[in-house]
Amino acid sequence: MLKEKLAARGLPALLEMNDERPVKTPEAWRKRRAELLDMLGREEFGFTPAAPEKVTGEIEKSQDAFANKAVQQTVRLSFDTPGGPFSFPITLVAPKAVKPAPVFVAVSFRPEVPDAYLPAEEIIDHGFAIANIFYKDVTDDGPACDGLAALYPRDEKTGWGKIGMWAFAASRALDYLETREDIDACRACVIGHSRLGKTALWCGAQDERFSMVVSNDSGCAGAAVSRGKAGESVDRIAGVFPYWFCGNYQAWRGREAEAPFDQHMLLALVAPRKLYVNSAEEDTWADPESEFLGCVAASEAWTIQRVPGLVAPDEMPRVGEPLMDGGVCYHVRAGSHFLSRTDWLYHMACREKFGV
């Protein structure tokens, strides 16, 4: 049944090089991976500038938190750009009971920790640290050329959009976390919700240091395949939020079926690392079925590297029945568009199961 549903979507081939040669080995996949990164940079998100040579962190505030179970710090990260120095703050919460602690790098809608989207004490109690990035501290969620956006030259066709800038900031946070003795940066997971779920996917696709990538309700231009998608479309998202993407993305408005790419290719770039995609039953704008089919279609990138992809029955799972046995994990929960405590519990269970 899933094979028939995918065939009806008419997705472009994942395991076929640009010259139409089939991808049959892990070595060939590395070449195909480079092609996909280039295509998604050129046609959707824009090309990301090179990482800075050095990222430094200055602890501006430090205190015991969560009943003295953790240390919570405000750390200002700084690095040089072509337009001059740039800095932004992160909130780092590290459990005292686990050192070094695996970490969630959360690109978030709010600076506060804890927050409705971020059950920080529960995360700490499971032995995970949190590095929280308020996305507007990097650049505003709008067309204005401010913050990081003002400091890099930008080609109007292939220059990065705001999603790329927020993803870049998450990688800079990991640069800093690698210097911390209380953080296990080899077990870092980047996570985001909605537009920031798209951000987490693009970050993890580019930055292979992240051992796990979590996309929550990311929908169009995120985990959901665009061909045949219900709810939000490329035409709508590129028209309302053009600044999230590169200029070339406008060419695919209403032309999803003609594009040389689709979102299963973005998901595949996480392979063979752990990918977790989750949906909400009532989030028809994001379209849970299209998110799930994205996971199914992307799984070839894991199997070509001799790692199980999505291990699932031949149908979409029922609400509250997570699929966690392969390199690609998925669940759909009850409720609407939100990053909930339920989602976090599933994400942590997956990390604990696989040690990522």
Q: Report pLDDT for 326.
A: 98
Question: What do you get for the CA distance between the two ends of the chain, in Å?
Answer: 32
Q: How far apart are CA 34 and CA 160, in angstroms?
A: 17
Q: How far apart are CA 124 and CA 21, in angstroms?
A: 48
For residues 214 and 190, the answer to whether their CB atoms sit within 8 Å is: yes
Q: Which of 217, 199, 201 is nearest to 291 (CA)?
A: 217
Percentage, residues of the chain above pLDDT 70: 100
Tens digit of each residue's pLDDT (9 = 90 or more) over 86-126? 999 999 999 999 999 999 999 999 999 999 999 999 999 99
For residues 48 and 171, the answer to whether their CB atoms sit within 8 Å is: no
Tens digit of each residue's pLDDT (9 = 90 or more) over 339-354? 999 999 999 999 999 9
Tens digit of each residue's pLDDT (9 = 90 or more) over 167-219? 999 999 999 999 999 999 999 999 999 999 999 999 999 999 999 999 999 99
Q: Are strands 129-134 and 56-65 parallel, antiparallel or unpaired?
A: unpaired
Tens digit of each residue's pLDDT (9 = 90 or more) over 152-161? 999 999 999 9
Hey, what are 130's tokens? 């949190």
For residues 113 and 124, the answer to whether their CB atoms sit within 8 Å is: no
Q: Which of 302, 306, 337, 141 is nearest to 329 (CA)?
A: 302
DSSP string of 194-208?
Answer: THHHHHHHHHHHH-T
Cβ partners under 8 Å of residue 91, min gap 6: 72, 73, 74, 75, 111, 113, 130, 131, 132
| Averaged pLDDT score across all residues of the chain | 98
Domain ranges of the chain: 2-354
Q: Report pLDDT for 149.
A: 98
Its CATH class, for the domain covering 2-354, is alpha beta
Which residues are 74's β-sheet partners? 61, 91
Question: ∠ CA 107-111-116 to the nearest 5 degrees?
Answer: 85
pLDDT bin (cut points 50, 70, 90) of residue 338 is very high
Q: Which of 317, 271, 323 is nearest to 2 (CA)?
A: 317
**Amino acid, single-letter form, for residue 252:** W
Q: Are strands 274-280 and 212-216 parallel, antiparallel or unpaired?
A: parallel
- Whether pTM > 0.85 for this model: the answer is yes
pLDDT bin (cut points 50, 70, 90) of residue 256 is very high
Q: Report pLDDT for 180.
A: 98
For residues 193 and 340, the answer to whether their CB atoms sit within 8 Å is: no
Q: How far apart are CA 221 and CA 244, in angstroms?
A: 10
| Count of all residues that appear for the chain in the document | 356
Which spans in 67-194 are helix H?
120-125, 162-177
Half-sphere exposure in the Cβ direction for 257 (13 Å, CA): 7
Q: 3-class DSSP state for residue 117?
A: coil
Which residues are 330's β-sheet partners? 277, 323
Q: How far apart are CA 292 and CA 244, in angstroms?
A: 23
Q: Residue 271, Cβ neighbours under 10 Å: how many? A: 24
Hey, what are 202's tokens? 């693009």
Helices vs. strands in the chain: H and E counts, helices first: 10, 9
pLDDT bin (cut points 50, 70, 90) of residue 147 is very high
Q: Report pLDDT for 332.
A: 98
Q: Report pLDDT for 138.
A: 98
- Segment 309-330 mean pLDDT: 97
Output phi, psi for 332, to 5 deg.
-125, 125
pLDDT bin (cut points 50, 70, 90) of residue 302 is very high
pLDDT bin (cut points 50, 70, 90) of residue 278 is very high
Cβ partners under 8 Å of residue 338, min gap 6: 117, 193, 217, 280
Question: ∠ CA 211-308-318 to the nearest 5 degrees?
Answer: 95
Tens digit of each residue's pLDDT (9 = 90 or more) over 44-93? 999 999 999 999 999 999 999 999 999 999 999 999 999 999 999 999 99
Residue 203, classified by CB atoms within 10 Å of its CB into exposed (0-12), middle (13-18) or buried (19+), is: buried
